[in-house]
Amino acid sequence: MVVDFESTDSTRSGKPLRHVQTAVFPTPVKLRHGGLLPGIEVAYETYGTLNEDRTNAVLICHAISGDSHLAQHDEHDEPGWWDGLVGPGKAVDTDRLFVICSNVLGGCRGTTGPATINPATGIPYGSDFPLVAVEDMVDAQKRLIDLLGIERLRAVIGGSLGGHQTLCWATRYPKHVQTAIPIAGSARVTSQAIAFDVVGRNAIQTDPHFHGGQYYGTREFPDTGLALARMLGHITYLSSEAMTRKFDLDRHAPRDMATDFEKRFSVGSYLAYQGEQFVGRFDANSYVSVTLAMDNFDMGDTRGKRLEAFRSAECDWLVISFSSDWLFPPGQSRELVSIMTTLGQPVSYCEIETDGGHDSFLLPDDIEAFGPLVAAKLGAPKPHPPRKSAEDDRIFDLIPEGSSVLDLGCGEGDLLGRLKERGAPLLCGVEVSTGLIAATMQQGVEAIDCDLNVGLPEFDDGRFDYVVLSSTLQVVPNVERLLEDALRVGHRAVVGFTNFAHRTLREMFGLEGRAPKAPGSYSFEWYNTPNRRFPSIRDMLDLCEKMDVTVERARYYDDTHGRVIGDDEDPNLAAETALLVLSKNSR
């Protein structure tokens, strides 16, 4: 078996960009860390058409090694680094949207950076290029957006370092961003992530051909140092599972290639190839400049500081993370979501299950997974109006108009979609399935990926008028904790469940000697059911009494015959399902 050298770098090259444009800003630019540039140029590309009222513009921000060429312009064009996400009919649909992507300040693909001629000396800046911050990158993009006559961006989207730029846009220019989508990002990088970058920069700056950063007029560049830095980067972009899958089968069968780097193992030949490919398209000084910008990005080292940093944002959010990303762990994204919910900012969140590591935001299979979330957030047409069901009808009628609602286990968001159509001021769904989160978002409702087994830490006390748990309590291990949390987050909880003491189920167990089944939540076989609990109405009422929870309203239903069961008919025997409206006595 031959080592697979395929990576997210495979389609990129240092060839001239056929569709690049350059914006020139001749006035001095003061930088965040005190440096000064006499003027800057910004290289950018655009896709799609700007509409007449200039409201369909989307800015996409690239990661460390990216550039303005995020997608192909036509079949004759070179591949872009986000072709799977951006283009006609794709998640970022250029048939509807006008997409802009610029090379970052400090980069090496057309925007002012270390390789740019310093007008004061007549030679490239090299290591004299001033220290650049993510804020400076965003300020340069803002100049470009102003030049294009765009007052407010429909969205800003970015992964990794692009996620940092996205967060910065939303908080630095809040009135100019409608939607922000940070992917695999964070409020600050971890010390471990900085450590890898430090080693990479050391490899570059101690290369004998670095010459203090002034290597541009020499015959040899610091290619060894840059290649080593890129190899180290690739290790951080992949997960342990991805490396095992990619290299363990032929660990001792490296591909034969001409290189001075070690190639004893298959992973070694892969890293050598990636490093040497990278030096053909990137500048070592730019690598130092851009990684320093990422490492210095910091929205606060405490929750309090981060709350203040995000308080200015006025946009709605979609935050995406990847389960195997150890460079920007999902916990960092969940922390962002917690801050946004605390501040009352509309936010959706999803953690994509994948073994792709940090690179997942660029991988085709993972783009296919999170693309529908992005499309929904950008207002892709609904596939269908909210569907109706008998259970949703009953819950819908129990919730007064104008109430804010959190739906735990919201499915495809049909109930929330109906409440939105009725004018509910604040709605949110909770699910764990990426597909269900996307379906809920298609209803125009925020949805958050949250493991109900750990409660509701993302939500503050009294955030909602009603919390809905429809066929949800029976699947969690700690019913009491979730019910307590629901009544902490909401003023009332609507709990719907199948009554396991219904006559038919009793007969199935007592007379037939078989594990009872019922339509809906209890339709599974005993050996494949996701349910952990099998409560009766009486069990649920006993639990409420034990927890000092008031049952404000109770509705019992004979679903088979489509009728309401009265209290005088022994609901615990006659009712198939129940709905309870609960509140906490201490409120």
Q: Which residues are marked as active site?
A: 160, 325, 358
Helix H, strand E, coil C: the string for 543-556 is HHHHCCEEEEEEEE
Token pair 């846009």 is at which residue? 169
* Cα angle 549, 551, 408; round to 5: 75
**Could you tell me if 157 and 58 are in contact, meaning their C-beta atoms sit under 8 angstroms apart?**
yes
Torsion angle defined by CA atoms of residues 282, 286, 287 and 291, in that order, rounded to the nearest 10 degrees: -150
The stretches of 325-379 forming alpha helices (DSSP H) are: 330-342, 364-377
**Could you tell me if 134 and 161 are in contact, meaning their C-beta atoms sit under 8 angstroms apart?**
yes
DSSP string, 239-306: -HHHHHHHHSTTTT-PPP---SS--SSHHHHHHHHHHHHHHTT--HHHHHHHHHHHHH-BS-SSHHHH
Contacts of 272 (CB under 8 A, 6+ apart): 227, 231, 257, 259, 261, 262, 263
In the 8-state DSSP scheme, what is residue 502? -
* Cα angle 574, 575, 581; round to 5: 140
Look at residues 490, 507, 493, 491 and name the one whose alpha carbon lies nearest to residue 543. 493
How far the first Cα of the chain sits from its last, in Å, is 66
Phi, psi of 286, rounded to the nearest 5 degrees: -65, -35
From residue 501, alpha-carbon distances to 304, 509, 576 in Å are 49, 10, 8
Token pair 């979330």 is at which residue? 373
Buried b (16+ CB within 10 A) or exposed e, 179-188: bbbbbbbbbb
